[in-house]
Every structure is written in C-alpha cells, then in structure tokens.
Structure 1
Amino acid sequence: MSGEFAAPKGIPDYFPPASADFLAVRNALTGAAHRAGYGHIELPIFEDTALFARGVGESTDVVSKEMYTFADRGGRTVTLRPEGTAGVMRSVIQHGLDRGQLPVKVCYAGPFFRYERPQAGRYRQLQQVGIEAIGVDDPALDAEVIAVADEGYKSLGLSGYRLELTSLGDNTCRPQYREALQEFLFGLDLDEPIRERAKINPLRVLDDKRPEIKEMTADAPLMLDHLSDTAREHFDLVRTNLDRLGVEYVINPRLVRGLDYYTKTTFEFVHDGLGAQSGIGGGGRYDGLMKQIGGKQDLSGIGFGIGVDRTVLALEAEGVSVAGEGRVQVYGVPLGAAAKSELVYLAGQLRAAGVSVDLAYGDRGLKGAMKAADRSGARVALVLGDRELDERTIELKDLSNGEQRKIALDDVVAEIRALLAP
C-alpha cells in the first residue's frame, strides 16, 4: 500500500474502469423499480438511534452489535443508517404520505453501515437498492415487489441465483407459534446468550449460522405448519401470482431474515457462487412497523433491499460484465496548441449535442494519444494538426474498423451523430 491514508477497513472503493459495472448494476435495479411505478426517495445518512432500536428490533444483531452510533455536537444520539425500511416509514409518517394515495411506492439507493467483520461480500459500508410499498396489504403487491427484484437481476444477465420464500405468519398465529418454539428451545442445552435470545425473540435462534446450533434446532417447529387460515390464504395467493409472473422460487420453511419487523411474506435471493455471504437481496412484509415507530395509523408495507456490492460479485462469479460500451464515444487527439484549442471547442459542441467526448491532455505525442483513445473505448478518434487546421478539416478514424477519412471542421457534429446513430 502506498500513501499515508487508506480507505477505512471494510469499505470498498469503486473506481474506473471497474466502477462501470457497479453503476450499471445500480441503474438496472433502480430501472426495474421505476418501470413498476416506484418514485425516488432520498433518505438521511443518519437518523435518531431510537428509530432503528424500535423499528429494527433491539434483539437483532444489527441493533445490538453492528450499528455505528455516536453523539453529535448537540448531545443527540444518532446512528448511521443500517437499513432503509425504518427510514422510509419515518419519512412517510413525518410528511403525511400515508394520508394520500395508497400504496406509497418508493425506491432508494445508497450506502448503509454495519460494523461487521469484513470479508468478501460483507462490508462495513454496503451499497443497496431498495423499494417499499406502504399502505396496502395485498398478496398481488407482494408478488410485484418480488418480481421487480427478479426482473432487475435478469436484466443484468444474472442466472445462477434462486429465490427462497416463506411466510412468517400474522398476529393471530405468531403468538401460539412463539410459545411452541420457546417450549422446544428451552428443552435444549443452549448456552446463556442463546437462551436469552430465545426469551426475547425465539425465531432469531433459527437464524444462528453455527453448525452445532443448526443441528440442535433441526427438528424445531416451523412457522409454515402453524399459519392461520388468513395467513395461509395470503401466502397461497402470493405463490399463485408469482407463478403467473413466471418467477421461479423454492419454499424454505426455515428462512429467517435478520430484522424483527417481518411478517407474512418473507423472501431472499441466494447465489451459491459467493460462498458464505450468499444472500444477494431479500425482504418481506412488515405489518405493525408503522405503529411501532409512532405512526397514528397501522399500515402494512412490503419491500426489499438488494446488495449492489454482492450483485457485482455474483456477476463476476458468473463471468458476466455489464459495463457496456466505453466511457466515451469520441476521443480527440490534438497535435499542437492551436489544434488543442479547436478540439476543446469541438468537444463542447459535441457534448451539447449529446455525444460523450474526451481529449488527449498533456501534450502527448500521436502514438501515446492513440493508445489512450483505444483504452477509452471510444468508437471514433478525431485527429487534428496544424495542416488540417489550415485546411479547415479534421481526420476522423473509426476505431471499430480502422477506416479513416477527412471531413470538414464545420461538419464534425453532423458526421459524428450520423456515424453513432443506431
């Protein structure tokens, strides 16, 4: 490592050319959401700590172990956002969006923060795209949310993933299931931290990844076997709609997400090419969250969070690049100060016409400048020297096939647009 400073541990940098894949992934995922009518919402990077403690759940690892929490200069306790749903719900309540047309459908993207042991695919600053649909409890809406994520993955060319699906029941069947699960867990030889977790939120014990705990809980009662008639009907309708949408899934009755607010439909997208950190996105329905964080109404919601970082890694595991074309379409090669001045002007004209342009800066020679043109991924190189300036012409080289010809300076914009036209 060179230099005095480095990025904080567990926080990746994305820079050219690799950042093109990152940007393409984020745009594809948000694009799928926008096509389904989800409007953009921009959330604060940090919020009142109590929002996450109450909304996400104090028994979760996220709240108890992973949050970046600090006191600001005013003595207020604030936390870098570890997830997006609680912040969206807070915004909906604060700005009265729940009193307008329902469902409220929003999409967000950006960094989230969790203090975890860094490893491949698990970062302390993770990038996510998320959507939330708040205010309508409709199995068809659950299916839409899941299908939006699936469409986003498919639009990127990702294929080696599976969708795992379950239901975590509703408030009419969860209390009885909680009792049955606690009775089972308290009969096991659990260590004290796990027993405490079983008292607070027994479902979280099933999320323990340690092999010995998974083996001990292999015969634990399952929520799917304890669903109320209403919750069962809801889950069946979600599956029916997913079948009609052509979204493939597998039922995983032991699926438990890492946040406490999930009810009914719960899902996760898994890619086995990523090793231990195989989850690339997931979400579910959250009845009761609005009331829990102070809302006067108790509207249901459903959403997902997709890991942009992990989706990039999944694409790399499949050998798929989504960066697309080069970073610019045209590369200008000036040979001399007067030529550079003219190409600066032409670059401005082309950019105004919607063409992406870069120039060889720093007085490079022709050979070095043409290598830079190749590395840029440009389709066209424009070479201008003193002789061409005197003639009011410029050399246009099509880098895709090597063809070269002179055109009039006054015709550059029209010629380039015609050449680049689909």
Structure 2
Amino acid sequence: QVIINGDFFVEPKRLIYDLEAYLKHTPLQDVERRIREFFKDRQWEGLNLTVDDIVSAVMFPLTKMEGLDLGMEKKTLNNIIGSIGGGLIENLKKAKVMLLPYCAKPRWCDYRHLDDCGECGGCTVGDAYRLAYQKGMIPITITSFELLRDTLKWCAENGYTYIGHCCYEFYEKRYEIFQKASKEGAKGVLFDIVGTTCYSLGVEEEERAYHGEFTVELDLIKDALVKSLSVKEDEKVSERVQRRHFDFSPFFKDFVPSYYKKPKAVPTPEEDRTRTALQKEVFLGDATIDGKTVSYETAFEVLAEWLRSAKKPTVVVGPLLLWDWQEEELSQKAKALRELIDRVGKIQVKVLPDYRPKLKKYDPSVEMDPPNPHESILHDQNDLTILVGVHCYRTDFVIRLLRKHTPTKVVALCGLYGHPEAHLSTSFTDAEKLLKILNLWKG
C-alpha cells in the first residue's frame, strides 16, 4: 500500500488516488514498471510534473526497504534518508567517499573546521573515519556548502559513489545539488544525524551554520552506518601515513598574535592539492584583472601600481605559508613574500593561521576571522587586500565577503588555478613570480 501526498496540480483530480489503488499489493521489485504501465495510455495533465517525477517520488522511500536485508529493523529504516541514483545496497557496495558534517564534531575539537580528523575516539566522526579507512573509502569532513558542492562535482567527474550524513532539513533544502550530482555521475546514500539542528533553531542559526559558526554538537547514527557498510569487504591496507609535523614559518613568526595557541591540527598543503583540483575549470590563463585574462607581466605591473597608490594595503598570510611544512617550494615562496613585505614597508600583515571561527575573541588588526574576513579589513580601512597562502576553497569565500561588505581591492596570488572573482588574480604563483613583483617595486 502506498499513500502519495504533496503540493501538485493534476487532471483528472482522481489520478493520484487511482494510482494508489493500482499499485496496491504490487511486489516492490515491480513498482516502477507498474507506475509506468499506469500512465502509458492514460490521458492526464500535471503542472510541472512528469511520470519520472512520480516514479522518483515513490521509489525514493522504497529503496530504504533494502536495509532489511542488512539486518536493520523496520523502525530504524528512517535513519536512512535515501539512496540517490540507484539501489541502496548497490550504492553501498560501490561507495568510495564518505562525507561527514563538521557539526557532528565536538566544539572543543581542533579538527571541527578541518576536512580531516584526529581519530581520538572522542566522537562518532572519528569512528566513521576509522570505518571508512577500514572499507577502503576516502573520508572528508564537509566544512562549508562550497566544499560540498565541489566535492560532489569531484565525485561526479571520477564516477565515485558516496555515503553522506546530514539532517532531513538540509537534504530538503539542498535537494537540487544532490540530484544534479546524480545526473552527472555521483550516486550516493544519505544517512540522518541526530540532535538539535540549525534549521530547528531559526534563520539566524542557519546563517551561522553556513559561515561555520554553528556551535551545537550533533551526532552520527553509528549502528546504522556499521550495519550498512557490512556489505563492503574490509580492505587490506599498509600502515597509515604519519601526520605532518608543523611549526610556524621563520619568515612570519613575528606576526603571530601573542594570544594565539598552536592547535593540534591545521590545514595542510595536501588539502589544497586534493580539493582544489575540483576548481580547475576556473582557470583562464596566467592572470586575470576584473575577470579578464592578462599576462603575468601586465598583472604584476598593475599590482605594483596599486601598491604604490594604496594608503593602507594589507597582506593576508594563510596556513600554506604561515606554517613551515618543510617543503622547499613553499619555503622559498614564504621567503620571497617576506622580502616583498619588508621592501614595500607600508604593508600591514594579518595572519589567517587556521579556519576555526574566532567568535569575536581575536584582534582584527593582526588576525582575520575565517567566517567574517570583512571585519578585519573594515577595522583598519584597508584599501588593498592581498591574499597569499590561503587554501583555494577558503579564498573564494573570503573574496565574496570582501567584495560584498568592503570597498577594498582584492588580490589573490594563488598557487593553483587562480580566482577570477578577485579584482586581480595570478595563477601558479611561486617564489619566482613574487620576486618579479619585487623587482617592479620602486617605492
């Protein structure tokens, strides 16, 4: 038996009731065939409604029934939001990527706003990371809507099936992005999470969650995940790679605020190299000025002129250069940037050591708050802002907020494909290119 409810307009008015009666006592495996059979020679009209829409609406909840074959009880099937683009067991077997919400990590966790996990055993996210590695999957903590969008696109491009975790409200609001990813090749299974969500607390908390400032802790439904992944064989893996050692770069240590406490984890270069390959479609060439492609030489000359005319220029040094990763290329780039800062002299330096929200507990004259980068720029009325060493997905976010809330000119000296949304951006910016800007400086 099936009951179909919703807001839609159809003629004849009894169409949906007749469909419900037609499907009664239909074996689950025959439901889609019977729906299409019902509409085959029937005259009907629907406002923005197709047979495929009705098939999708009926089949989406029915795929949960496959969970019974995994040992799940009927009452726990609602822990599964649904299977997108294929059958539940089929998608679980093929799953290569596990998407986890940052809001399921504890507030005290240094990894809450990173796409990695320390696997300390303090929350169910760490359990999910270990289970993902055990099954040969790639776990990623989703820290923003932009990262979710890019990760789904990456899954689609590589034909990866994913397992995701979110609340029903998030799925309802972001339904289109999951369906679009499915059509492009990213199938998946979504699990519900438990706790007080931002959507149940009102628009203000929803906005805070979008900016990474939501402080309520939710939880994964571990039992449902474990039973679901029982269909995947364990992968024999070699010893896990040791985590990177990191300390402050000697070139910027003097700019670190005295109150800043070194966390257990910060975003590594690997994070940029794996995630921002998803953004390569933005690449327009050597450099861009107001979205138009120009040569490196032209961009450097314009930047040098902007530096000369700016009254309060500032350089924002991100984690890629603020920390010493023991990589020659990044070390040379940090050294060149410090030479440029010292030569120009009037540049104010502000650091962005990690992406944890500061929650108003920071000095905007020396540090940038990741969710609210405009506050730091407005505080000192900086008229030129140069971003260097900031991870690409975070750079996009900073650019949008600075252009929306401040009159500053935004420059992104990017190590990868560039950011056309900035007033000026250069791609694949290394130490050699920074030195070219230095050579153009005449004070």
TM-score (norm 2): 0.21
Query: By percentage of residues, which structure has more helix?
Result: 2
Q: Bigger radius of gyration, 1 or 2? A: 1
- Ranked by relative contact order (alpha carbons within 8 Å, sequence separation 6 or more), the top structure is 1
